Amino acid sequence: MNTTGESIASLRFGQTTRRDLWWVQTVTVLVVLSSFAAYATWAAFQGKNYYWGPYLSPFYAPEIWGSSPNAWFGPKPLWWPDWIRFSPALIILIFPLGFRLTCYYYRGAYYKSFWADPPSCTVGEPRHSYWGEAAWPLVLQNIHRYFMYPALVFIVLLSFETWKALWFTNPADGSKVFGIGVGTLILAINVVLLGGYTLGCHSLRHLVGGRIDRLSQTPFRREAYRCASCLNRGHMPWAWASLFWVAFADLYVRMCAMGIWTDWRIF
């Protein structure tokens, strides 16, 4: 028997006896979320090239004020402060941003990747102090359901934008004609993925039925709970797929608007 002088006491930052590539997931989440945040910030501040033909970028939908024909109430409002560059996306992005930021799945993911709390299961942490979500500021994560409500409204609004993406302007007489372009499909897939992500939300699952102990007495809520639970089981893949696709949908519309990509009309 040979012995090696190691301590089994608490682990230093990054120390572990795990032998798998535990850091791969941590780093991947860090890179993907950082890349998305960088692209979304850049795209949101552009304030141009966010619509083409019948397509409106999901980062800018609904366009409450703005310069495109999709704007509900016309151009930039008078109350907008001069020291902030105007972009229609800045008015609405707080809702999807807040929904994802307080999402139970993303919380677990970014606590590991951005705060190393812990970097991965059974891996040593950089700090001894810890408050979790029991104290300020992370206790604010408990408002997740108040971002979920607008997220549900956004699904309806984005569905309407997809409906509008089915109607192309006839260059000959300016009339609207029904059609399907690649962009239409991209926007439709975006709604499906965002719907799968939002309708599987843990808070929604709780509110539609999870909080009731005798679901058998409320058949409608029982079915709603079953549906939400079914989607909730795949909450992580829905979260990543919808995150990737919403950025891709913005990129597609932007590339078309800039004339770099050509939208292929399928029908």
Partner 1 sequence: MATASFRVWRGDAQGGAFADYTAEISEGMVVLDAIHRIQAEHANDLAVRWNCKAGKCGSCSAEVNGMPRLMCMTRMSELPLDKPITVEPMRAFPLIRDLVTDVSWNFRAKMKIKEFKPRKPDAPDGTWRMAQEDVDRVQEFRKCIECFLCQDVCHVIRNHQLQEDYIGPRLFVHTVALEMHPLDTENRIADLKKSQGLGYCNITKCCTKVCPESITITDNAIIPLKERVVDEFYDPLRMLARLVWPDSKPPG
- Rule CB under 8 A: which residues touch partner 1? 1-6, 8, 10-11, 16-20, 104-105, 107-108, 111-112, 117-118, 121-122, 124-125, 128, 130-135, 138-139, 142-146, 202-203, 206-207, 210-218, 222, 232-233, 235
Q: In angstroms, what is the minimal distance from the CB of 36 to partner 1?
A: 20
Cα–Cα distance for residue pair 59/248, rounded to 1 Å:
10
Q: Which of 115, 129, 112, 57 is nearest to 88 (CA)?
A: 57
- 90: CB partners within 8 A, 6+ apart: 44, 45, 84
Strand ranges in 70-166 using DSSP code E only, listed in sequence order:
none
Q: Which residue, 184 or 232, has its beta carbon nearer to partner 1?
A: 232
161 burial type by CB count under 10 A (0-12 exposed, 13-18 middle, 19+ buried): buried
DSSP 165-222: TTEEEPTTT--EEE--BHHHHHHHHHHHHHHHHHHT-HHHHIIIIIT-S-GGG-HHHH
User: Could you tell me the smallest distance in angstroms from the CB atom of residue 217 to partner 1?
Assistant: 8
At closest approach, how far in Å is the CB of 145 from partner 1?
7
Closest distance to partner 1 from the beta carbon of 102 (Å):
11
CB of 258 to partner 1, least distance (A): 40
Which residue's CB is nearer to partner 1, number 116 or number 251? 116
φ/ψ (deg, to 5) at 51: -145, 150
Q: Supply the minimum distance, in Å, between the C-beta of residue 245 and partner 1.
A: 23
- Rounded distance between C-alpha atoms, residue 83 and residue 79, angstroms: 12
Q: Which of 169, 137, 142, 212 is nearest to 55 (CA)?
A: 169
Q: Which is nearer to partner 1, 216 or 262 (CB)?
A: 216
Closest approach of partner 1 to the CB of residue 125, in Å? 5
Q: Which helix (H) or strand (E) holds 30?
A: helix 22-46
- 74 SS3 class: coil
